[in-house]
Structure 1
Amino acid sequence: MTSVSSTALSGLRAAQLQLDSSAHNVANLNTPGFKRQTVELQEEPEQGGVRASLGRAQNEGSALETDAVDQMAATYSFAANLQVFKAQDRMMGALLDQKA
């Protein structure tokens, strides 16, 4: 069984990788021959959470609309996983209050 914090941490790492990748793609928007970075997410059933890895698009060129959506989704994912950390902290505090 995994801890809630390790599951949330994997989500934070995946969101950060997505933000970094989409920022890299936007920065290289006009670079000739550039192939976009992609982020593949894979479930970690035994450890919990998600594993994120970088890949490359098959075709050259930009997809600014995709990168903008990816940035927004990563921002929401980052915020949601941060809320999981906060909820765990509150639950642990309540548990300690009950035991003390």
Structure 2
Amino acid sequence: MSLTSVSSIALSGMGSAVQRLNGTSANMARMAAQPDIDTEDLARNAVEQRVALYEFKANMQTFKTGQEMLGTLLDIRG
């Protein structure tokens, strides 16, 4: 696996996390507009938002590590 594919995979994962966050945000906004809020659904979406945050952070760290490795490789060859 090349370093560019590591970055590509990490960017894809960050995009997935953003989509998950957008989906749960839309769900919560719809729930807020309803008179009877199902607290279980609200809690589930809040947890999903935290998962999306951790997913984004993990993929960001993977991306940063890949970039650092690429920089080190270029330093060694340069």
1:13 counterpart SS class: helix
Structure 1 portions without partners, runs of 5+ = 33-60
**Displacement of 1:30 after TM fit?**
4.2
Q: Paired residue for 1:69?
A: 47
Separation (CA, whole Å) in 2 of partners of 1:79 and 1:29: 27
* Structure richer in strand, relative to its length: 1
Root-mean-square deviation over aligned CA pairs: 1.8
Relative to the length of structure 2, the TM-score reads 0.83
Taking the TM superposition and a 5 Å limit, the aligned residue runs for 1:1-100 are: 3-31=5-33, 62=38, 63-100=41-78
TM-score by length of 1: 0.66
Deviations 1:74-94 (A, max 9, x none): 000000100011001110111
Report the identity percentage: 42
Q: For residues 27-76 of structure 1, give each alpha carbon's deviation from its aligned partner in whole angstroms, at most 9, with x where no partner exists.
A: 110445xxxxxxxxxxxxxxxxxxxxxxxxxxxx8510110000000000
Where 1:92 maps in the other structure, the secondary structure is: helix
More helix by share: 2
Aligned residues: 72
Q: What 5-or-longer segments of structure 2 have no aligned partner?
A: none
Give the CA deviation at 1:5: 1.0
> RCO higher in 1 or 2 (8 Å CA, sep ≥ 6)?
2
Aligned letter for 1:8? A
